[in-house]
Amino acid sequence: MKTIDLRSDTVTHPTPAMREAMYRAEVGDDVFGEDPTVNRLEHMAAERMGKQAALFVASGTMGNLVALLTHCGRGDEVILGDRSHTFLFEQGGMAALGGITPRPIPNQPDGTLRLEDVAAAIRPDDAHFPRTRLVCLENTHNVCNGLPLTAEYTAQVAQVAHGHGLRLHVDGARILNAAAALRVEARELVREADSVTFCLSKGLCAPVGSLLCGDAPFIAEARRSRKVVGGGMRQAGILAAAGIVALEQIAPRLAEDHARARRLAEGLAQIPGVEVGPVATNILYFWLTDEVSKTPEEVVAALAERGVRVLGRIDGRFRAVTHYWITDEDVERTVQALRQAVLGG
């Protein structure tokens, strides 16, 4: 029986086309800037995001860390959401490795930060305080139901940041999902941002890698930051080749994943004792009401016994993420498996 893995879109395996491209990739030493496949991927990524240049990195976490290390110096401060991936799930790398202080402010249910909260968090020029250097947004916002941030909202945050001499970085791990959901080009969502990361290894199905994009001087400095955290890879074109296929073949079909997430949400919502959050992209959160006697751990285990894997979160919610390898039949089987796990039978 096929295992239906909905824990994340990071569990995707490379497509046959990706494996073929990796096998045939022309390579060189990327630290010397001589890997033609990496260079092509970086050019494609920069063009996709409307930026001058891009840098291939091993992961989204590395991309965000490299961005923060490049934008900020030791002792500087970053304003970001209290439910953001960079704050919650990146092991405090900005502080541990960069001496950068996070200044978390509340994420709203839709993943946004209130403009007045951003402005109020900016430090005055006072020797007692760290210098505020950067504002970070996340699009789509993972913990906040995978919701996308609009171009208009991001531009408003950029206006606040730039008006105070700060820069804006977007953790766009799933920015192409946001673009698909909002039916705009990704570059429109980050037009006013100074830098953006996006992942190849989530909904885009590549085995590894992310891109950090910005203007040419920023990326030149980011290349140094990547080196100091051990991110200088050599014949990385073998990996970049899969990323090129991801941009050419997988990005155009992301709306299919969103449609399946909505279909899954509709099915789960029909199960007594199950509540479902809003769905806009490929991320779906659901939870149990008080009428259900089973614990979240018991439900996760019961689903696993039926060949369905979802992620249980510490806040009592479950997360299911659709991706390239999830079919319509998998959606129907997941609904039936949860009905059995919650109600018995």
What does pTM read for this prediction?
A: 0.96
- Report the candidate in 106, 157, 116 with the shortest Cα–Cα distance to residue 135: 157
Q: Are 310 and 320 in contact (CB under 8 A)?
A: yes
Strands (DSSP E) contained in 139-247 are 167-171, 195-199, 210-214
Q: How many CA atoms lie within 13 A of 237 on its CB side?
A: 19
Q: Which of 198, 196, 225 is nearest to 60 (CA)?
A: 198
pLDDT of residue 35: 98
Residue 166: the pLDDT is 98
Residue corresponding to tokens 């950068």:
100
CB atoms within 10 A of CB 197: 30
From residue 279, alpha-carbon distances to 71, 82, 188 in Å are 33, 21, 22
Contact between 100 and 67 under an 8 Å Cβ cutoff? The reply is: no
| pLDDT at position 345 | 60
pLDDT number for residue 1: 82
Could you tell me which CATH class the domain 4-9+253-343 is placed in?
A: alpha beta
Domain boundaries, the chain: 4-9+253-343, 14-251
Cα–Cα dist 141/147, whole Å: 5
Tens of pLDDT, residues 114-165: 999 999 999 999 999 999 999 999 999 999 999 999 999 999 999 999 999 9
For the chain, the residue count is: 345
Low-confidence ranges of the chain (pLDDT < 70): 345
DSSP of 59-128: -HHHHHHHHHHHH--TT-EEEEETT-HHHHSSTTHHHHHH-PEEEEEPBPTTS-B-HHHHHHHSPPS-TT
How confident is the model over 91-109, as pLDDT tens digits? 999 999 999 999 999 999 9
For the stretch 310-320, pLDDT in tens is 999 878 899 99
Q: How many CB atoms lie within 10 A of CB 199?
A: 27
Q: Which CA distances in Å does 110 have to 14, 21, 35, 138, 216?
A: 31, 38, 40, 11, 32
Using CA of residue 287, residue 289, residue 292, residue 293, what is the dihedral sign? positive
β pairing state of 167-171 and 101-105? unpaired
pLDDT at 314: 74
How far is it, in rounded angstroms, from Cα 330 to Cα 272?
21
pLDDT for 96 = 97
CATH topology of domain 14-251: Aspartate Aminotransferase; domain 2 (3.40.640)
